[in-house]
């Protein structure tokens, strides 16, 4: 495989030139092109299995729980009654796995554009693809952008688990995507989108939060730590139709028993609050 | 320079095998051995200037402020009156730069073992070495461990800005170091030490916090995000002789004007509180 040098994979992306992450590969489990992108799965010496799309790390077995739990439970626990949830993207199944755990969630609809990602995840990334087994889930293969045009006032929460804004996900970072999500939400609905890192993509964070603010009466940025993503922390833009929402006050506070029952390894009710507290250089840039 | 491949430097350390950070070098400004370690300084295409000791990244111009502000202001703002501060290590000057800003600090004593690090920093890393210009500072070249044996009940705060526990810093992660610091503190004194990351070194974090707890009636772990360190977040063990201390409640709350006056780019009074909030898998491991 020509993208490996002495069994080391080096991530490379025009969004963060000049500094990057590398890992040692034990075995190439999957390498090939779908209709939309290159899909690689590696077994590695230190990160477990790793999913790479178009040469960018999407998730590693070691740390994916941080991302999946936080992108799911932050919006779910901001909402008073998140009964019906839409997931856009998330083809590895990790977000579905987390959303299905929330006690108030009754129905999950997921729209992933790339069937091959689902197939590969079911074969090699079962620890995430287990999410597809939930009885709450209805899975569609298609364009989330198009899907939403035909669904009005239907969802309590919309989670967009996309890759970065190059390639198939570019439309999911634009203002009309936030506008579409708004019309697909029920009253007091909430959206949460992957939105880049404060260290490498502060321009992207600022623009994405700006689009969300233009469409939603309340919006905020929160973050978590995911070592395999460039720079470490990765963040989410969250918008709500409830203008009085307090994002940093979870509506449902979990006990230690709740955390155990849901196998939550990263998210807890205190880290929910802390996730919205920003370093000074970010706070005033986003203000 | 044989550690560069096509102008890329790849960090390598037995503490985190199998996954590592690499960056593109514009120019090698310094490369050589001191009595204690290899010292390299690079100018890079995306991180500004970078200090590397024994092939491990110590700080980059892009993100060093996060580390320096947090290791300094967390303990300083936990203390009611941090008049006299000891810095152990910190040969680049960055911690002295931050400590000197705190309005209550009157005297800073710093003990760095490697004179060559100070010299190289003054030559190539002036943005940190500016800390050595403070009139509050008295700088010693020597072993912090030995220095403390001769200083009893003298300091309000002791900050240990060390490299990782391989090489010259190994003694600074042992229980008798915490015991020595304890005897060098005034009543209600506070210590703060670099203590590894939750993602790569949780065993180290656990043992270091354990040593601190054995010696101090109150101890906690806090963290910040530093993209150039392995995995992103890096943490600190903080111990206090005041058993009633509330680490997450800063004694001095800074206004926006204070932040500006001190040029604080990362630390603020809210992030002080949030820094002590831990992900579930860490919280119960350290409990």
B22 touching chain A per CB within 8 A:
yes
Interchain proximity A21–B19, CB inside 8 Å: yes
Instruction: Specify the DSSP class assigned to residue B47.
Output: S
B20 touching chain A per CB within 8 A:
yes
d(CA B247, CA B217): 12
Name every chain A residue with its beta carbon within 8 A of the beta carbon of B264: 280
Interface of B with A in 165-204 (CB under 8 A): 198-200
What φ, ψ does residue B46 adopt, rounded to 5°?
-135, -10
Contact A38, B40 (CB under 8 A): no
Contact A62, A46 (CB under 8 A): yes
Retrieve residue B112's tokens: 């760095």
d(CA B146, CA B11): 31
Q: Give the nearest partner residue to A277 out of B46, B231, B270, using CB atoms.
A: B270
Q: Which residue of A has its CA nearest to B227?
A: A231
Q: Which of B41, B230, B24 is nearest to B128 (CA)?
A: B41
Interchain proximity B17–A23, CB inside 8 Å: no
The strand order across the sheet containing B185-194 reads B137-141, B107-112, B84-89, B155-161, B185-194, B233-240, B218-225
Name every chain A residue with its beta carbon within 8 A of the beta carbon of B10: 22
Supply the residues of B annotated as catalytic.
Answer: 161
Least confident of A67-81, B178-192, B227-241: B227-241
A219-253: b (≥16 Cβ within 10 Å) or e: bbbbbbbbbbbbbbbbbbbbbbbbeebebbebebe
pLDDT of residue B2: 65
Q: Is B148 helix (H, G, I), strand (E, B) or coil?
A: helix
pLDDT of residue B166: 78
Q: What are B145-171's pLDDT values in tens digits?
A: 899 999 999 999 999 999 888 777 888
- To which residue do tokens 């070495």 refer? B129
Q: What are B20-71's pLDDT values in tens digits?
A: 889 999 999 999 999 999 999 999 999 999 999 999 999 999 999 999 999 9
d(CA A154, CA A234): 28
Interchain proximity A279–B270, CB inside 8 Å: no
pLDDT of residue B56: 92
Cα→Cα distances A49→A25, A34, A164, B147, Å? 9, 20, 20, 47
pLDDT of residue A1: 63
Contact B233, B198 (CB under 8 A): yes
- To which residue do tokens 């730590």 refer? A225
Instruction: Specify the DSSP class assigned to residue B194.
Output: E
- To which residue do tokens 């740390």 refer? A63
Interface of B with A in 209-238 (CB under 8 A): 225-233
The HSE-up count of residue B85 (CA atoms within 13 Å, CB side) is 33
Q: What is the pTM of this model?
A: 0.96
Q: Which of B248, B235, B258, B240 is nearest to B102 (CA)?
A: B258
Count Cβ atoms within 10 A of the Cβ of residue A5 and give its class: 0-12 exposed, 13-18 middle, 19 or more buried: exposed
Name every chain B residue with its beta carbon within 8 A of the beta carbon of A248: none
Pairing state between β A8-10 and A19-33? antiparallel
d(CA A114, CA A36): 7
3-class DSSP string for B92-137: CCHHHHHHCCCCCCCEEEEEECCHHHHHHHHHHCHHHHHHHHCCCE
A195-211: b (≥16 Cβ within 10 Å) or e: bbbbbbbbebbbbbbeb
Q: Which domains does chain A have, with CATH numbers?
A: 4-60 (2.30.140.10), 63-286 (3.40.50.150)
Interface test mutation site (partner B, options A63, A201, A223, A274, max chain B beta carbons within 10 A): A274
Name every chain B residue with its beta carbon within 8 A of the beta carbon of A14: none
**First and final C-alpha spacing in chain B:** 46
pLDDT of residue A20: 87
Interchain proximity A279–B273, CB inside 8 Å: no
B4-21: b (≥16 Cβ within 10 Å) or e: eeeebbbbeeeebeebbb
Q: What are B90-133's pLDDT values in tens digits?
A: 999 999 999 999 999 999 999 999 999 999 999 999 999 999 99
The interface pTM score, or ipTM, of the predicted complex is 0.95
Q: How far is B169 from chain A (nearest CA, A)?
A: 25
Name every chain B residue with its beta carbon within 8 A of the beta carbon of A261: none
For a pLDDT cut of 90, what percent of chain B falls above it?
85
Sites in chain A below the pLDDT cut of 70: 1-2
Residues with Cβ within 8 Å of B49's Cβ and at least 6 positions away in sequence, in order, are B29, B41, B42, B43, B60, B61, B124, B125, B127
Q: Which residue of B has its CA nearest to A70?
A: B279
Contact B74, B66 (CB under 8 A): no
pLDDT of residue A163: 84
- To which residue do tokens 């100070």 refer? B118
Cα→Cα distances B264→A279, B100, B259, Å? 10, 12, 5
3-class DSSP string for chain A: CCCEECCEEECCCCCCCCEEEEEEEEEEEEEEECCCCEEEEEEECCCCEEEEECCEEEEECCCHHHHHHHHHHHHHHHCCCCCEEEEEECCCCHHHHHHCCCCCCCEEEEEECCHHHHHHHHHHCHHHHHHHHCCCEEEEECCHHHHHHCCCCCEEEEEEECCCCCHHHHHHHCHHHHHHHHHHEEEEEEEEEECCCCCCCHHHHHHHHHHHHHHCCEEEEEEEECCCCCCCEEEEEEEECCCCCCCCCCCCCCCHHHHHHCCCCCCCHHHHHHCCCCCHHHHHHHC
Torsion A222-A228-A229-A230 (CA) sign: positive
């Amino acid at each position: 495989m020509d993208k490996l040098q002495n069994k080391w994979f080096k991530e490379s992306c025009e969004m963060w030139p000049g500094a990057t992450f590398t890992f040692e590969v034990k075995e190439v489990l999957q390498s090939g092109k779908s209709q939309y992108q290159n899909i690689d799965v590696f077994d590695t010496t230190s990160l477990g299995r790793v999913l790479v799309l178009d040469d960018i790390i999407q998730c590693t077995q070691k740390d994916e729980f941080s991302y999946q739990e936080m992108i799911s439970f932050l919006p779910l626990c901001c909402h008073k009654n998140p009964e019906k949830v839409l997931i856009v993207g998330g083809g590895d199944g990790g977000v579905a796995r987390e959303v299905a755990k929330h006690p108030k969630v009754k129905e999950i609809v997921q729209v992933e554009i790339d069937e091959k990602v689902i197939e590969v995840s079911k074969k090699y990334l079962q620890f995430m693809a287990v999410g597809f087994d939930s009885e709450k889930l209805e899975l569609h293969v298609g364009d989330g952008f198009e899907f939403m045009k035909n669904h009005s006032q239907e969802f309590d929460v919309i989670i967009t688990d996309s890759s970065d804004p190059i390639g198939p996900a570019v439309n999911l970072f634009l203002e009309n995507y936030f506008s579409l999500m708004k019309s697909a939400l029920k009253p007091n609905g909430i959206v949460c989108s992957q939105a880049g890192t404060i260290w490498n993509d502060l321009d992207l964070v600022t623009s994405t939060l700006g689009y969300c603010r233009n469409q939603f009466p309340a919006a905020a940025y929160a973050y978590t730590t995911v070592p395999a993503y460039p720079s470490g922390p990765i963040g989410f833009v969250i918008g709500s139709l409830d203008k009085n929402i307090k994002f940093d006050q979870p509506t449902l506070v979990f006990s230690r028993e709740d955390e155990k029952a849901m196998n939550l390894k990263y998210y807890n009710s205190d880290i929910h609050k802390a996730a919205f507290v920003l370093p000074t250089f970010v706070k005033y840039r986003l203000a």
